[in-house]
């Protein structure tokens, strides 16, 4: 299992819409996330920062994410959520959600 954490900014004027969208995420979007071997996915908010965390249980994260990005329902979902977000200034070329480095882990 691989832990993945990412950060992006939410546009303050779009926060209510972003929250509304995530109150009722489309079942097909959730199914596609599961099909991409992603488990325990969550998004957290602090000020204008969104922090996401998920656990990846597959063998090729890049391929699973690419497959998810090709899904027409996921693309329609992103057309609604993307205008609510803006990448961090430190995001690399082509990055939307910027990866966050794990610096500490405590497991039981």
Active-site residue, 44 included:
no
Q: Which residue is catalytic, options 22, 35, 44, 57?
A: 22
Question: What own/partner pairs with CB < 8 Å and gap ≥ 24 does 32-37 have?
Answer: 32/68, 32/71, 32/73, 32/74, 33/68, 35/67, 35/68, 36/64, 36/65, 36/67, 36/68, 37/64
Check if the beta carbon of residue 50 is closer than 8 Å to that of residue 8: yes
Which amino acids are annotated catalytic? Answer: 22
């Amino acid at each position: 299992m691989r832990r993945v954490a990412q950060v992006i900014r939410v546009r303050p004027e779009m926060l209510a819409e972003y929250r509304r969208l995530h109150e009722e995420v489309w079942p097909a979007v959730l199914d596609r996330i599961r099909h991409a071997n992603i488990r325990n996915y969550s998004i957290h908010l602090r000020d204008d920062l969104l922090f996401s965390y998920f656990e990846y249980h597959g063998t090729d994260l890049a391929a699973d994410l690419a497959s998810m990005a090709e899904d027409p329902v996921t693309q329609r979902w992103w057309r609604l959520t993307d205008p609510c977000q803006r990448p961090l200034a430190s995001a690399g070329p082509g990055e939307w959600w910027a990866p966050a480095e794990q610096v500490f882990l405590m497991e039981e």
